Amino acid sequence: MSNTFATFEFTDEQHSHALPILKGTLGPSAIDVRNMYSNQDIMTYDPGFRSTASCQSGITYIDGEKGVLLYRGYPIEELAERYSFTQIAHLLTSGELPDSQQLAVFEKELRRYNLLHDQVLSFYKGFRRDAHPMAVMVGVVGALSAFYQDAQDYNSPDDQHRAAIRLIAKMPAIAAASYTYSIGRPIRHPDNSLNFASNFLQMMFGRPSEPYHVDPLLAKAMDQILTLHADHEQNASTSTVRMAASSGANPFACIAAGIATLWGPAHGGANEAVLNMLENIGAPENIPAAIARAKDKKDPFRLMGFGHRVYRNYDPRSALIRETTKQVLAHLGMENDPLMATALELERIALSDEYFISKKLYPNVDFYSGILLRAMGFPSRMFTAVFAVARTVGWVSHWLELKQEAHGIDRPRQLYTGPTLRHVDKR
Ligand code: CMC
């Protein structure tokens, strides 16, 4: 596989060992350290995986320096402009954009499997009405592991495919129900006359007492939000899904683990945190104080929606969402939205501040998405749930990819720093 080698000198051991270098199709190469421990009795140490490729993957590529994001080789800008979320879901899960016939089959499957089992609906009543939607989603999606006993041979391509479709298809209903339950409104079923994004909107906002009219611009914005959040290579939640899946765990349980990880404010919970931050800042004149706090090492406050482990440039998703946010605000007569004014000014000041310039901290996908979702009617507690609906496509794609591999269970090692051998007092 490799004819290039890096040589490491372990000076204290007085010996050297050559390691193969693996080349991908794009991006940096990786030193293959798989046999390092067995050959050299030494491990690599990389908490946070800053220099570690945890797997090989052919789904999504990010060039963080240039601000490039590719799904299966296609730039995100081209996909977001010309293709629907279901076409993107087909691309990510199968590797190719569908032709019209393949798309018809794929969308038919999504419609067929989008209903929630009646017993799944009864779970909702066990939750407090004030529970966070992500807490409900972790529980409900995990509980799906107890269903579909007839299709649980997850080494068979048929059962893998059906689990993937079920997860993508049901997630909007699961997320919407976690919201409608919280406000005491009857849970709405999917309407198969609508496309994926419109259907999600009607399950979220439709009332049983009146017809729900889908606003085409809001449906288009929803579709774009789903596309932009669909996958992002080995982020924390996707890595969690892959690790859970490496043990052969049930796919619904693996995705529930992904939802749990996504919930954190350093990951998918950031869009909710951005909105809270903008509300706390209140007005553009308070921005300098917020910037000063973000720069103060003694203060745990960070500018939410800024910075990224991989991007050292403008997150291309953020640029697209910022423009859509402007369009939707104008469409809804909210051009003077104070949160948008604060966000734009915060971005302007931060991007001309030496601290943010030198650390290459730019707005990420979450910086504007909260403002957009709020304008569309989503309460802030639902923002991460929307992210989960979209990212299910990515998680499922990685789960399908992992099922084709044979590297066994993921099992990191550790650098032990606890007590050395000692014995209990025998007295
Ligand atoms: N505000 C102020 N300073 C920051 C920020 C920020 N948002 N982000 C990073 N820094 C500083 C950090 O203090 C550190 O400074 P120093 O080198 O002096 O110690 C330097 O920049 C590098 O930061 P890091 O913590 O090593 O970067 P990371 O790769 O571990 O963290 C991050 C990435 C996204 C967790 C972080 O930038 C952050 O906490 N941002 C705010 C939360 C956020 O917006 N998260 C959404 C990420 S995008 C969506 C997703 O992937 O889910």
Tell me the pLDDT tens digit for each residue of 6-28. 777 766 655 567 889 999 999 99
Q: How many CA atoms lie within 13 A of 89 on its CB side?
A: 30
383, 178 Cβ separation under 8 angstroms: no
Best mutation site among 297, 361, 384 for ligand 1, i.e. most ligand atoms within 8 A of its Cβ? 361
DSSP H helical ranges for 55-193: 76-82, 85-94, 100-112, 118-124, 133-143, 157-182
Q: Find out whether the beta carbon of 370 lies less than 6 Å from any atom of ligand 1.
A: no
Highest mean pLDDT among 59-63, 207-211, 278-282: 59-63
Ligand 1 center from residue 369 Cα (angstroms): 18
Whether residue 308 has its Cβ less than 6 Å from ligand 1: yes
Nearest atom of ligand 1 to the alpha carbon of 268: 52
Instruction: Determine whether the shortest distance from the Cβ of 233 to ligand 1 is under 6 A.
Output: no
Mean pLDDT of 250-264: 97
Tens digit of pLDDT for each residue in 126-169?
A: 999 999 999 999 999 999 999 988 778 888 999 999 999 999 99
Model confidence over 393-425: pLDDT tens digits? 999 999 999 999 877 899 999 999 999 999 999
The answer to whether the CB of 85 falls within 8 A of the CB of 65 is: no
Mean pLDDT check: name the lowest of 2-16, 196-210, 265-279. 2-16
Closest residue (by CA) to atom 8 of ligand 1? 307
Report whether residue 258 contacts ligand 1, using a CB cutoff of 6 Å. no
**Does any ligand 1 atom lie closer than 6 A to the CB of residue 304?**
yes
| 334 vs 322: CA distance, rounded Å | 14
Closest ligand 1 atom to Cα of 235: 51
- Full strand arrangement of the beta sheet holding 30-31: 5-10, 15-22, 30-31
Relative to the CA of 262, which ligand 1 atom is closest? 52
- Residue 307, ligand 1, Cβ within 6 A: yes
Amino acid at 6: A
Per-residue tokens: 193: 């006359």
- Enumerate the active-site residues: 308, 366
Q: For the ranges 3-7, 271-275, 365-369, which has the lowest average pLDDT?
A: 3-7
Say if residues 318 and 367 touch (Cβ distance below 8 Å): yes
